[in-house]
Amino acid sequence: MCLGIPGQIVEITDADRLMAMADISGVRREVSVACVATPDLSDLLGKWALIHVGFAMSVIDADEAEKTLEALRGLGEAQETLEAMAEGTAAVIGHTSGVTEVAQ
Amino acid sequence: MRYVEEFRDPVAAKAVLTAIEAVVEEIGATAEDPVHIMEICGGHTHAIFRYGLDRLTPKGIEFIHGPGCPVCVLPMSRIDECVEIAERPEVIFCTFGDAMRVPGTRKSLLQAKADGADIRMVYSPLDALEIARRNAEREVVFFGLGFETTTPSTALSIQQAARESLSNFSVFCNHITVPPPIKALLDDPHMVLDGFVGPGHVSMVIGTHPYDFIAETYGKPIVVAGFEPLDLLQSVLMVLRQIRDGRAEVENQYARVVPEHGNPASLAAIEDVYEPRPTFEWRGLGEIDASGLRIRATYAAFDAEEKFAVGYGAGPRIVPEPEGCACGQVMTGRIKPTGCPQYGTGCTPEMPLGALMVSSEGACAAYYQYGATDDTLEAAE
Amino acid sequence: MNMTTPIKPARLRGDRVTMAHGGGGKAMRDLIEEIFTDVFLPPGSEDQARLTSDALREPGAQLAFTTDSFVVSPPEFPGGDIGKIAVCGTVNDLAVGGAKPLWLSAAFIIEEGCEFALLRRIVASMQAEADKAGVRIVTGDTKVVERGSADKVFVTTAGVGVIPARRDMRAENIRPGDVALVNGVLGDHGATILAARGDMALTTDIQSDCQSLNALIEAVLQAAPNTRAARDATRGGVASALNEMADAAGVQIEIDETTLPLRPEVKGVCEVLGLDPLYLANEGILVLFVPADEAGAALAAMKSVDAGRNATAIGRATSGVAGRVTMSTLFGGQRLVDTLVGEQLPRIC
């Protein structure tokens, strides 16, 4: 339910109607910023927001994103320690693909 | 940071999966005696199969696919009413693409379009507003569909139409809310549920407190989750840890997007434009009290139900499901999609019988499309 | 075949096609000559093309013949137009079957009110692409229909080519162990059209990948003579091409999500509209199967031509379950890649 995708606010296009241009991986779409409007709309420039059906619904909190990634990294480190203990050597976790190698 | 790729890192996923395996072992869950975790949101169901997470997580976890696909739970009678409105010669009927293929008792919107109705797919209700501005002599109706995530967009569009006195714009409101069906499921004595993965984008609007009752009254853990695969895996881990520790809390894995108290501007717009209906029908679940929204009398001029006299409750409500269709049982987790006698034979994505096969977020379509039942598909090492 | 100013003085009146241009009289002749045959055909050409080629006299050579209709809205888009697609599409249909494309026909269904200028641009673009691909447009037809009966212009091309002796590129030749290659990034055309159509109000810098692939295929066949089969991944995208090939050959095809070449903008369009890039249409992308020991050579040959600069291996055929296409996801999970049902619709949920 509710497809949403991060986009960066790059331009205020119509301050009266609370409209702005969002850039999503190089795709631009005019979106409403009514839900995330600040007294000075230019404060939104450069911010990332979650875009849903043409509306910026939530400004993404960079600190919270970093905390989530930190927790994930913590799991990774814990696992590396465990594996290092088990194998007596530091394990490098990698993702391999058998396909491209064939074609080299 | 672009907030997407970082949360799709396979190396990090491996670490979370290892942690998940460890907790599942601590809990003592097995394939025969699994923990049952419901992902409420259809977007999560889709992501689980899209990334093959169902095969990567241990067999001691069983995912129950919840009712969070607005297209799937839409009663057939409402599609019939859409078709009725769309077939009026003065109407331009605007809809999200999702609803086009859903079968009504007579036809789907796609069929109505082929029969000559002016039906247009749009990305946003703002686009329907623009169509209304450019077609003053036509009646432009937007098919308002979706949970709390989408409701603010139609509320704000109605407010904008009111400001512009766009008298040829109206919304056919079918917005529904997440907490009531969860309560209905928890009250169902047949349901076996150990915890929930909560809907991230609904929660960015309503915040996390509307789920307090799940933890406090029913003693079940819930973790509000993002939609990238790492988000989902981390949330599953958080639910499992709560189960292991005997905790029942509302946790927020998706704090980068979901504020504790939601989005005040969105909530204000919803409150201004909509009010709860006494009851609303959910396909497969029946009538659920206060689970649907309708447009307030102050905005009646923008209410397609008023404009075209197809008010909810005007006709016979419950349209029986097609013969043999077990969408209701699947939606409540009583049976797996494959347990439905019609699955893959009488009901396929080509010829859907039930709604769960129509939307790619429907559990049956996700099973079918991504080969979820195929035992020869295994997690690659 | 000249693209210079018409020899005769301009006789077409007005700037749009009317029903009179379909009536069989002088107006029709003026339209056909001034806009079409003056560009496509040498002076003095007959209505019926008479063709000969040395390639046909080679013992064991086979004629290949194909036809395709083109309807694109809008008819002009970044990277191409309906005319360019009509040439590329038919050239590619011939080329993926191992044929060297030689001659094309072109028939136009024109909507009353269509601008002459649009037709001229389409015709010029067809001739330019035909020159590039080394084929000739040798015969054609026009019809005019009333406003509303068509969308500006529809084009049908048919193509004739020659398959040299001992060349067999039917999909059933694919064997387990063969490597799947694509010649470039996926979905550019589909994403471009979605954006260009305007209903979704998306702006991008993506261009259609629309291009002729016959030179690329000849280069691959030189470098990898045991190339098994090729398909152009047009409607239904790479996923549909792979499914057809898996069916025809009775093999399983396994692709690897991490190797799929995708532009960020195409991913962006797909994320916004909830689409799967594997099903987006392409107009200059093919899937090619080669034996594993020739994969390196085939890839190098592709990369040596413009149309193959971003070529890459995306998977391989296995003896698994006949007719099935699977993908290992970014995470190493496996999922089915089914044939597209109906049309991919933009979704919100």
Render pLDDT for B78-113 as a digit per residue (tens, 0 to 9). 999 999 999 999 999 999 998 898 888 889 999 999
Phi, psi of C75 (to 5 degrees): -70, -20
Q: Across chain C, what does the average pLDDT equal? A: 92
In a domain, C348, yes or no: no
Kindly report the number of other CB atoms within 10 A of residue C219's CB atom: 19
- Distance in Å, alpha carbon of C159 to nearest chain A alpha carbon: 33
Mean local confidence (pLDDT), C137-150: 95
Residue B11 predicted with pLDDT over 70 = yes
The 10 Å Cβ neighbour count of residue B330 is 27
Burial degree of C169 (CB within 10 A; 0-12, 13-18, 19+): buried
Are C180 and C197 members of one domain?
yes
State the smallest CA–CA distance between residue C7 and chain B in angstroms: 46
Say what angle helices B10-27 and B229-245 make with each other, to 10 degrees. 20
Tens-place pLDDT, residues B121-130: 999 999 999 9
A99 vs B140 pLDDT, higher one = B140
At B313, is the pLDDT very low, low, confident or very high (cuts 50, 70, 90)? low
Residue B318 confidence (pLDDT): 60
- Residue with the larger pLDDT of the pair A80 and C206: C206
Give yes or no: residues C267 and C154 share one domain. no
So what's the pLDDT on residue C6?
47
Rounded CA-CA distance B318/B312 in Å is 11
Q: Which of residues 190-249 of C touch A (CB under 8 A)?
A: 195, 200-206
Q: Look at A27 and C204 and tell me if their CB atoms are within 8 Å.
A: yes
Q: Does residue A19 carry a pLDDT above 80? A: yes
Give the residue-averaged pLDDT of C334-339: 88
In a shared domain, residues C196 and C143: no
Fold category of B5-68+190-199+219-248 in CATH: Rossmann fold (3.40.50)
Residue of C330 and C279 predicted with greater confidence: C279
**DSSP notation for C177-238:** TPEEEESS-SSHHHHHHHHHH-TT-EE----------HHHHHHHHHH-TT--EEEE--TTHH
Structural domain contains residue C254: yes
Quick one: C6 exposed, middle or buried, by C-beta within 10 A (0-12, 13-18, 19+)?
middle
Domains of chain A (ranges plus CATH)?
5-60 (2.30.30.140), 63-92 (no CATH)
Do C110 and C191 reside in the same domain of the chain?
no
- At C247 the pLDDT is 97
The identity of residue C341, as a single letter, is: V
Q: Which region among A74-88, B260-274, C204-218, C274-288 has the lowest average model confidence (pLDDT)? A: A74-88
Q: At what angle do helices C82-96 and C116-133 cross, to 10 degrees?
A: 30
What type of residue sits at position B76?
Answer: M
Tell me which residue of B148, B155, B169 sits closest to B292, measured CA to CA.
Answer: B148
Among candidates A29, A37, A53 on the partner chain, residue whose Cβ is nearest the Cβ of B265: A37
Confidence of residue A94 (pLDDT cuts 50, 70, 90): very low
| C157–chain B nearest CA distance, Å | 27
Is A27 near chain C, with CB under 8 Å? yes
pLDDT band of C11, cuts 50, 70, 90: confident
My answer on whether C152 and C132 are in the same domain is yes
Look at chain C and report how many structural domains it folds into: 2
User: Which neighbouring-strand residues pair with B64?
Assistant: B38
Q: Please give the residue of chain C at the shortest CA–CA distance from A99.
A: C315
Nearest to B97 among C201, C202, C347 (CB): C347
Q: How far apart are the C-alpha atoms of A19 and B66, rounded to whole Å?
A: 35
Range of the structural domain that residue C304 is part of: 171-336
| Domain identity same for C77 and C131 | yes
Domain-terminating residue out of C163, C181, C206:
C163
In Å, the largest CA–CA distance within chain C is 67
pLDDT at B351: 79
- pLDDT bin (cut points 50, 70, 90) of residue A91 is very low
Q: Are B221 and B251 in contact (CB under 8 A)?
A: yes
* pLDDT range class, residue B332, cuts 50, 70, 90: confident
Per-residue DSSP letter, B321: P
Under 8 Å between Cβ of C246 and C252: yes
Sign of CA dihedral C2, C7, C13, C15: positive
- C-beta separation of C202 from C272 below 8 A: yes
Query: 3-state class of B162 per DSSP?
Result: helix
Is B18 in the A-facing interface, judged by CB distances under 8 Å?
A: yes
Q: Answer yes or no: do B380 and C271 touch at CB < 8 A.
A: no
Say whether both C144 and C208 belong to one domain. no
Q: Please indicate, yes or no, whether residues C122 and C195 belong to a single structural domain of this protein.
A: no
Handedness of CA B292, B296, B297, B302 (dihedral sign): negative
Question: Residue C1: is its pLDDT beyond 50?
Answer: no
Task: Give the angle C266-C270-C274 at the CA atoms, nearest 5°.
Answer: 180
Tell me what percent of the residues of chain C surpass a pLDDT of 90. 80
Higher-pLDDT residue of B320, A5: A5
The verdict on C250 and C266 lying in the same domain is yes
Model pLDDT, residue B374 = 63
State the average pLDDT over residues B142-150.
96
**Residue A33 phi, psi dihedral angles, 5° rounding:** -110, 20
> Which residues between 53 and 92 in chain B have a beta carbon less than 8 angstroms from any beta carbon of chain C?
53-56, 69-71
Check C271 against A5: CB less than 8 A apart. Answer: yes
**Residue where a domain stops, chosen among C145, C163, C181:** C163
Residue A99 has pLDDT above 50, yes or no: no
| One domain for residues C122 and C251 | no
pLDDT value of position A98: 33
Residues C48 and C153 in one domain: yes
> Both tokens of residue C12?
């077409």
Q: How confident is the model at residue B2 (pLDDT cuts 50, 70, 90)?
A: confident
Classify residue C224: in a domain, yes or no: yes
Q: Give residue-wise pLDDT tens across range B346-359.
A: 888 877 888 788 77
- Decide if B16 touches A, using CB distance below 8 A: yes
Amino acid A51: pLDDT: 97
Please report whether residue C45 resides in a domain: yes
What are the domain boundaries of chain B? 5-68+190-199+219-248, 327-369
Tell me whether residues B56 and C348 touch, CB distance under 8 A: no
CA–CA separation, C285 and B39 (whole Å)? 38
Q: Which of B11, B127, B256 sits opposite A61 (nearest CB)?
A: B256
Mean pLDDT of C215-231: 97
Half-sphere exposure of B156 (CA within 13 A, CB side): 28
Outline where chain B has alpha helix (H): 10-27, 42-50, 53-56, 76-86, 109-114, 125-134, 151-164, 179-187, 200-206, 212-216, 229-245, 264-273, 304-307, 327-331, 363-369
Among candidate residues B122, B299, B303, the one with its CA nearest the CA of residue C197: B122
Residue pair C241/C233 in contact by the 8 Å Cβ criterion: yes
Name the percent of chain C lying above pLDDT 70. Answer: 97
Asked whether residue C4 is domain-assigned, the answer is: no
The pLDDT confidence band at residue C66, using thresholds 50, 70 and 90, is very high
Report, in angstroms and rounded to the nearest whole number, the Rg of chain A calculated over CA atoms. Answer: 21
Please classify residue B120 by burial: count the beta carbons closer than 10 Å to its beta carbon, then call 0-12 exposed, 13-18 middle and 19+ buried: middle
Specify the CATH number for the domain of residue C210: 3.90.650.10
Residues C155 and C193 in one domain: no
pLDDT for residue B118: 98
Please check whether residue B329 is in contact with residue B285, taking contact to mean a CB–CB distance below 8 angstroms: no
CB atoms within 10 A of CB B98: 29
Q: Which of C131, C163, C195 delimits the end of a domain? A: C163
